[in-house]
Structures are given as structure tokens and as C-alpha cells.
Structure 1
């Protein structure tokens, strides 16, 4: 809905702009003709959009007149005069076409936000008769159609919509873990086998991240969000009706594939509407929903499994209902934010109104096919990771975070139910403690925003616009990096029936605080460090962490059962301890690492 309205408003704005800037085009045409000693055009304003072709009709009428007899001298003279008139009319028409062409060219130079240039060879110069192209851009720094210029309320609405999509798809990833025993019993399989419903959903997330970027480049963010969310709902409904475990895990995998764009493109949407300084508070809003979804999924489904009133399948039906509400929200209120696509819409209107095909957005000049974009998107992430230490370290860090998070959905049964005797429903409700920790990270935003703003102004005064990427590491450095291993050690060695249940609960609050800070810093640091290559870097990040987390979800049950909660959590804490120095090291040596990188920006 919003995309359609934006498209219409762009068309109206283009027509008004042409009316306003046409006088400039007339002046340019007159000036060009005076330099070439051509007679000036009429003082009346020419119609630069629609051409009258009266001369064509005159020529056609004269050609259709009966040919005079050739045996009369008078008629020979008349025939010769007719041919002379035809030649004169032809020359006049050629001059008129040339004038019209120069008027169009003048219009292309006169319109605000249009950058005339010649095509490069790669853009088809060798095969195009006219090498000139009018590149369509924004009509000034305050162009209202530029997503960076949206009002604060509109930006907040956009982030709310994206956060809602991220919430529901991540919510779906974990809610099945709340009814694991009942679903396993219904299908006649073990709980380890039934855990594949969560595992393959996560694998689907990883696979789906590879195609989300190319689709958004062709169709924009909004259509991809809506289309994939609709398909996600279809597969969730199919999973709710699944007759056996094979059908369930297949449909859950497909739901994961279609849910992935909400997470892969969300960082791009935040970057679309927020400038680097505003992202300091804009991105955490999305991140909290992205982490809040999987943490609150088991809470919502906590009492559905043991309930005698509803089936365990209601976990899928609840997901479907919420997804339907989110889709309605997106259709009604989410506008398109992908700037290259918005400019291509503007170029379409310019071509339609002027009849000049030389108006092109940058997105349209090369016009790569979906297959070519997919090939590039599949290959570039893996090319980046071979040489980029920053991407490798952040991928490893986030993968460990996701392994711990998603094995908790199996492990809480052993950490709380078997030690403290909590019921299945209450055990899942205890995930609220982790969500409290995630929300507590918001207290860091004002301090970090203030610090980032000072650094931004300092750079402007020094002639270095922008923010050093290392500033994004403050979220993780302010206690979040040590919070993860400390919380795991704490939970591991206070998980005894003789110690209050509040001890491991408080440890899970600290864990939530730690992991959200790691996630925010990792994403924002990569976006600022790689900019035009950030999408490829984040694609690799999503692909690896979800693929590995999906595999470890299946391993989680036997791991906790055989190794025990104390040593399972201790092993994870030790891994987190080894990775804890990473953000501090990058803060110190990150500029040097980026300086030797082929893809990272070198500003400091």
C-alpha cells in the first residue's frame, strides 16, 4: 500500500519538477542555438513533452496524391515542384527533430538532481547509438523521497515494522522447543529427533540468507518482506497440519528459508533510513526484537504442551496468527526504503513523461539479472572470509553466542526441571529472565550515543566526515564481552538444589545482557567497516551462525544429558572466555587491520 502511494507521489513530483525546470531548458536551448548561429526558437514556451507531427501528415497526403501524367510539360513542372516541396518538408522535419532532441537534452541538463554522463563500455557504450545517459538522483539534500530525510516518527514506524517481522520469525524458531515432549510422543519419535523441527528451521535461516540480498536489489525491501512473510505463513500452517515428523521438519525448514530475509535485510533497512549517528539508537531497537523473539517463544508456548485444552500444534497456530497481524501492519504502514529502487521509479516516470529513454537510475544502467546477482551473492561472502580477519572473528564470536542460546532451549530442562523440580510450563517461563537482561542493555544507548556524537563532531571539525568503525565496539566492551563467560560459569557452579533457584536465574539475566551487546557491536562494526560489501559480510555471518546453531540444537540434548549441566556450561564459558579479548583487540588494532584489507574502509 505505502509503496504504491510512494510510486504515485513520485510521478506527481516529477511532472511538477519538469514544469518548474522547463524554463531552464528553454534558456539552454536558446543559448546553444545562438552559439551555432541557428535562428532562435519562438518566444512562446514549447511543449517539451508532447510533439505534434503535422508535417508527417502533410508528407503522407502528398505522397498519396495521384501521380500526374508524364506526357504534359506543364505537369512535369508541377511534378518537379512537388518533389522540391517534399524535399523542403523533409529538411524542415529533420530540423524539427533535431530541435526537439536538443530540447530534450537541455531538459536533461536542466532538471535538478540529474547528472548527465556518457556510458562506459561495460554499460553498453559500444552497442548503444547514443552514449549519453541522464543519471537520476535526489532533488537536493532535502529531497522528501530520500529515506534519510524521513521524519523521526516515520523512521520509528519503519523500524517498528521491521522489528515486528524479525520478532515473529525468530519467535517461530524456538516456540516448538516448549512442546518437545508432546510433539515427540504424538509422532512416535525421540525428543532428539523432534528437536530437528527447531534445528532445520535454523538451517533454513542460513540458506535463505543467501538469496535475500539479490531479491531486495531487484524488487526492493518492501516487496521481499511482504512476499516472503506470506510464504512463511503458508509453511507454518503446513507445519501445524503435518501428519508425520518428516512433513513437519520439511515445512519448518521451508518456513525458515522464507523467514530469513527479515533478519538479513533488516540491517540494510536501518542503514536506509538512519545516518551513521542515528544508527547508534536505531539499530538496538531492531536487535532487541531479533533476540527477544527466540527468548519469548518458549514463554508463549510454555503451557500449551501439558495443557488438556489445546494441542501442541497450537504453537504453530499462534505463530500464524501473530504473523498475520504483522503482515497487515507491514502492508498498511511500511514504505519502500531502498534508495536505488526509489530512484528507478523516479526514472520510470521521467521516461514516461518526457519520452526520453536516456533517463536512468544507477540500478537500471547495468541491469544485472537475478541469476547474476545470485551468483555474485553466493560467491562473494566466501571470498571475503578468506582474507578478512574482522569478518572471521565476528562470525566465530556470534556463532558461539547462538550455539549457547539455542542449546538453552533444550538445556533449561536439565538446568531447572531436573535440579529444582520446576514443571515443563514454568521452566519455559523462566526464559523471561534472559529477556530482562536483553532489555537492560538499553541503558547503554544514551552514553554511547553521546560519545559517538562527540566523536562525529570532532571528525567533522578535522575534515573527516563519518564515525570510526571502532566506535561501534563500545556496546560489547562495556561489560557485555565478560558478561557472557561470567554468567555461564556462574550458572554452571550454582546449579544445585541446595542453592536458591534465583542464582541461575540472575546468571541468565547477565547472559542476556552480554549477548545482545555482542550482537549489536558485531553487526554495526561490520556495516561501518565494509559499507558497500557489508551485505556480503553479513550474509556469511548469518549463514554460518544459523547453520552451526541448527546442528548444535540436535546435539544439545545428549550433550547436557551425558556431560551434565556443570561441565557443559563450563565448556561453553571457556570458549566465551577465549573470545572475550576480541572486541578490545579490534578497538586497538582495528584501524591497522582495515588498512591492509582489500574491502574494508580505511577511515579512522
Structure 2
């Protein structure tokens, strides 16, 4: 669990570290003309996040978590290193996309690992530790890279993260252990067959058709089954997509706010990202405890039977908190109020966002435990597509509307989705799960 938690932040961190360096990258690689093309240097990494889990999540349910995680991390390492040597905008875009593809491994597999290792009563705190990576990584990355750009060169952003990733890759060879029950039992069955000569031994997870073609086909189509037939996954994916899209939209314009409007240097402006990271840390600690306490209390009142819907009530609080934070940040930035006030707003936004994220991610794991990796891969497609798309119009939107009205609009959208969604889960979640073949199947053999 610890190694997976270390692997997870490095790809989201890499996704946003280029934000302070976008002007220098655009200059050196001749990315001129449309601001959208410049923003794509940042967001195309997240497009890789959308595609990668669709392959990596199902593969982990075929070959186990460890092999897929290590292979994806190596893929990320190679193309992230190549990004530091890019000489053209085409090379940069390609390397960023491919490194994002590999970087999606820990994101896709992390929820599945939590479902493998922790009981429902323990998943809130475990999810808090894991989720700090996908959400705090994009916030902390620009803080580090701001000083790298100012003191060294933007290419060292890629090389330093590659060195760090190489160290984690080596640690993973020694400390990562398999957690996926079907893989563990399958290995045990094969070992017992060799030891006893009894070829009739099988595990509860064995199926009639165990050919490689059948296994791969089932695994590859499973995320699309979730996307097309699972309303719970669709609703969760939409809400997560909104949160992720707003995050990357803010990240795209955050650096320029402090450099252009507040007159700070690249290095000093990066320190403002601490406000987002601190908000996420506070949200993880407060949210995790509230989620687990709420779950245990409702389980006790329900005759000892725990339900995934017991995770949801915190969203009814955290969604409005996120809205208040966005509004405070937007209007204080609009009028260039003392730096502490917009940082306070972004802190409040981060705290509310991560609390909601914990609840819905844990709800997804509780509902689809056995196929959590595929369910998360399906939700990640929604999430990462908006994370890719939102930054492309960020500069134009803020130029036209200003910080105040632009962030108020985002806050309003967050409110109209963030409040009805948990109410739908609370009222209809049990019915939707009962009608879901994937949820029933996961429950039967859990």
C-alpha cells in the first residue's frame, strides 16, 4: 500500500509541473499562435490518463496488480525522460501523451488495491492516503517546477521527475506485493496442481473459458460495459470529471495570476500552490474520519449491515464548501486583494473537493469491489477528458469574464451537480446496485 501510494503522486505531479514553464517551452519549441495549443502541452498528459486506465485496469484483473503497475511505471519513465529531450512541439505532445498513458497505471489500479486490502470500515482513511496523490500532485508540482524554471532550465523538470521515478521503480521491485484475489488463488491452484498432479483443482474465480483470447476480450470490454450500462458509474464519472476539469482549469491560469497580476517571480508564485496542497491534506484528514465514522454509525443502525450509500452524506457538506472557496478565490483575485485571501479561497476549495472525492471514490470501490479497477478506469475516462479539455479554453474564458465571474460560473456548475448527485445516490443507489449485474457479481464472489 505504501509503495503504491508513492507511485501514485508522481504522474499527477508530472502532469502539472510544466505549468510555470509553458512560456519557455512555447518559446524554445516554437509553439506559437493559439493559446489553446500552448495549453495543450499541459493538458495532453491528462488525455493519456483517460486512455491508459481503459487498458491497464482490465489488464490488472487478468495478470494481477504488480506486473501491470511495474510495466506502466516503466512506460511512464521512458517517455517522461524523452520529454526532456524534445526538440519540436510534435515530439513534446507525443511524449507527454505517452507518459500520461503509463502514468495512469497507479490511478487505475489504486482503487482496486484498496478494495483488495481493506474492509469497508477501513477504506475511508486508506482512500484518503491514496487520493492525496491524484489531487495534491497537480497542486504541488508547479510549486517545485517554478524554482526549477527560475534557477535551472525547464528540461530539468522532466529529468528530475524521471530520476525520482526510477528510484520508486527500483523500490517497487522489492516491496510491491500482489493483492488481487483471483490472481493469488490462481497461482496457488497452479502450484497445487504441480505438487499433487491433480488437474481437477480449481478456484472459485475460475471460468469455463480460460483461453487467453477470452480473458483479454472480457477484460478489455469491461470498462466500456461500465460506461454504457452502469448508471452509478456514469453519474460518479460525471461528478469526478467536473472536479478534475475545474482543478486543471485553475492550474492553467494560477501561475499567470500571481506572476502577471500580483507581480511575483516564478519561484515565489509557485509557493501559492501550497494553499491547494494544504486544502487537500486537510480535506483528506477531516473527510476520511467523517466518512468512516458516518459509515460505522449507519452500519450499527442498520443491524450491522454496511451499504456503500453510507459514504455519501459528507458530499452534501463538502460540495457547498467547494463552492464557497471558488467564489472567495475568484472575487478576491479579481480585485487583487492581499494574497492570503485568494489562497484561503483555494484552500477551502481544495478541502471540500478532496472530501467529496474520497466519498465517491470509496463508494465506487465498495460497489464494484472485485472489478473496482475497471469501474475506476471507466470513471477516469470522463474525468480525464474534462481534465484535458477544460484548460484548452481557460485563458480565453478568464480573459472574457475575469476571475470573479468565471469562478462564480464554475461554482454554480459545481453546486447544481454536486448536490443532486449525492441525493440520487442516497435515494436510488440501493435500487441501482440491485439492478446492476456487475455489482451483484462482485458481491457474490467477494
TM-score by structure 1 length? Answer: 0.68
- CA distance in 2: counterparts of 1:498 and 1:546, whole angstroms: 31
Equivalent residue number for residue 419 of structure 1: 261
For 2:67, which of 223, 226, 233 is the aligned residue? 223
Equivalent residue number for residue 157 of structure 2: 315
Equivalent residue number for residue 357 of structure 1: 199
What is the CA distance between 1:376 and its match in structure 2? 3.5
TM-score by structure 2 length? Answer: 0.91
Equivalent residue number for residue 248 of structure 2: 406
Equivalent residue number for residue 527 of structure 1: 365
Instruction: Provide closer, same or farther for how the CA distance between residues 367 and 278 of structure 1 changes in structure 2, counting only shifts above 3 A.
Output: farther
What is the CA distance between 1:425 and its match in structure 2? 2.3
Is the CA contact (8 Å cut-off) linking 1:237 and 1:317 kept in structure 2?
yes
Instruction: Provide closer, same or farther for how the CA distance between residues 371 and 401 of structure 1 changes in structure 2, counting only shifts above 3 A.
Output: farther
Deviations for 1:443-470, whole angstroms, at most 9, x for unmatched residues? Answer: 24334333323444454xx3x64x1111
Equivalent residue number for residue 468 of structure 1: 307
Is the CA contact (8 Å cut-off) linking 1:194 and 1:245 kept in structure 2?
no
Equivalent residue number for residue 318 of structure 2: 480
Q: Do structure 1's residue 162 and structure 2's residue 1 form an aligned pair? A: no
Q: 5 Å matches for 1:34-73?
A: none
- CA distance in 2: counterparts of 1:392 and 1:409, whole angstroms: 25
Deviations for 1:396-442, whole angstroms, at most 9, x for unmatched residues? Answer: 21111111111112211343333322222222221110111111120
- CA distance in 1: counterparts of 2:256 and 2:38, whole angstroms: 17
What is the CA distance between 1:320 and its match in structure 2? 0.3
Equivalent residue number for residue 445 of structure 1: 288
Equivalent residue number for residue 500 of structure 1: 338
- CA distance in 1: counterparts of 2:222 and 2:274, whole angstroms: 39
Q: 5 Å matches for 1:107-122?
A: none
- CA distance in 1: counterparts of 2:229 and 2:62, whole angstroms: 29
Is the CA contact (8 Å cut-off) linking 1:306 and 1:424 kept in structure 2?
yes
> What is the DSSP-based 3-state SS (H/G/I as helix, E as strand, rest coil) of the residue aligned with 2:426?
helix
Equivalent residue number for residue 259 of structure 1: 103
- Higher RCO (CA-CA < 8 Å; seq separation 6+): 2
Instruction: Provide closer, same or farther for how the CA distance between residues 235 and 498 of structure 1 changes in structure 2, counting only shifts above 3 A.
Output: closer
- Further displaced range: 542-551 or 376-385: 376-385
Is the CA contact (8 Å cut-off) linking 1:414 and 1:565 kept in structure 2?
no
What is the CA distance between 1:380 and its match in structure 2? 3.9
- CA distance in 2: counterparts of 1:160 and 1:284, whole angstroms: 13
- CA distance in 1: counterparts of 2:311 and 2:67, whole angstroms: 30
Deviations for 1:200-233, whole angstroms, at most 9, x for unmatched residues? Answer: 2111111111111232123211111111111211
What is the CA distance between 1:575 and its match in structure 2? 0.5
Equivalent residue number for residue 142 of structure 2: 298
- CA distance in 2: counterparts of 1:517 and 1:195, whole angstroms: 28
- CA distance in 2: counterparts of 1:264 and 1:340, whole angstroms: 18
Q: 5 Å matches for 1:96-175?
A: 159-175=1-17
Gaps of 5+ in 1: 1-158
- CA distance in 1: counterparts of 2:94 and 2:101, whole angstroms: 11
- Further displaced range: 436-445 or 420-429: 420-429
What is the CA distance between 1:241 and its match in structure 2? 1.0
Is the CA contact (8 Å cut-off) linking 1:214 and 1:373 kept in structure 2?
no
**Please, what is the CA RMSD of the aligned residues?**
2.3
> What is the DSSP-based 3-state SS (H/G/I as helix, E as strand, rest coil) of the residue aligned with 2:148?
coil
What is the CA distance between 1:584 and its match in structure 2? 3.5
Equivalent residue number for residue 401 of structure 2: 563
- CA distance in 2: counterparts of 1:520 and 1:175, whole angstroms: 24
- CA distance in 1: counterparts of 2:424 and 2:204, whole angstroms: 39
Is the CA contact (8 Å cut-off) linking 1:218 and 1:370 kept in structure 2?
no
- CA distance in 1: counterparts of 2:199 and 2:434, whole angstroms: 42
Deviations for 1:163-193, whole angstroms, at most 9, x for unmatched residues? Answer: 1111111111111112111111111213542
- CA distance in 2: counterparts of 1:228 and 1:384, whole angstroms: 23
What is the CA distance between 1:249 and its match in structure 2? 1.1
> What is the DSSP-based 3-state SS (H/G/I as helix, E as strand, rest coil) of the residue aligned with 1:564?
helix
Equivalent residue number for residue 86 of structure 1: none
- CA distance in 2: counterparts of 1:601 and 1:348, whole angstroms: 28
Is the CA contact (8 Å cut-off) linking 1:341 and 1:363 kept in structure 2?
no
For 1:550, which of 381, 388, 400 is the aligned residue? 388
- CA distance in 1: counterparts of 2:144 and 2:440, whole angstroms: 43
> What is the DSSP-based 3-state SS (H/G/I as helix, E as strand, rest coil) of the residue aligned with 2:86?
coil
What is the CA distance between 1:377 and its match in structure 2? 4.3
Instruction: Provide closer, same or farther for how the CA distance between residues 533 and 338 of structure 1 changes in structure 2, counting only shifts above 3 A.
Output: closer
- CA distance in 2: counterparts of 1:402 and 1:559, whole angstroms: 17
If you compute each CA radius of gyration, which structure gives the higher value, 1 or 2?
1
- CA distance in 2: counterparts of 1:198 and 1:367, whole angstroms: 43
Instruction: Provide closer, same or farther for how the CA distance between residues 197 and 376 of structure 1 changes in structure 2, counting only shifts above 3 A.
Output: farther
- Further displaced range: 386-395 or 278-287: 386-395
> What is the DSSP-based 3-state SS (H/G/I as helix, E as strand, rest coil) of the residue aligned with 2:112?
helix
- CA distance in 2: counterparts of 1:349 and 1:413, whole angstroms: 56
Q: Do structure 1's residue 237 and structure 2's residue 81 form an aligned pair? A: yes
Instruction: Provide closer, same or farther for how the CA distance between residues 507 and 445 of structure 1 changes in structure 2, counting only shifts above 3 A.
Output: same
Is the CA contact (8 Å cut-off) linking 1:204 and 1:253 kept in structure 2?
yes
Equivalent residue number for residue 281 of structure 1: 125
Aligned residues: 438
Is the CA contact (8 Å cut-off) linking 1:214 and 1:370 kept in structure 2?
no
Equivalent residue number for residue 273 of structure 2: 431
Is the CA contact (8 Å cut-off) linking 2:334 and 2:402 kept in structure 1?
no
Q: Do structure 1's residue 510 and structure 2's residue 348 form an aligned pair? A: yes
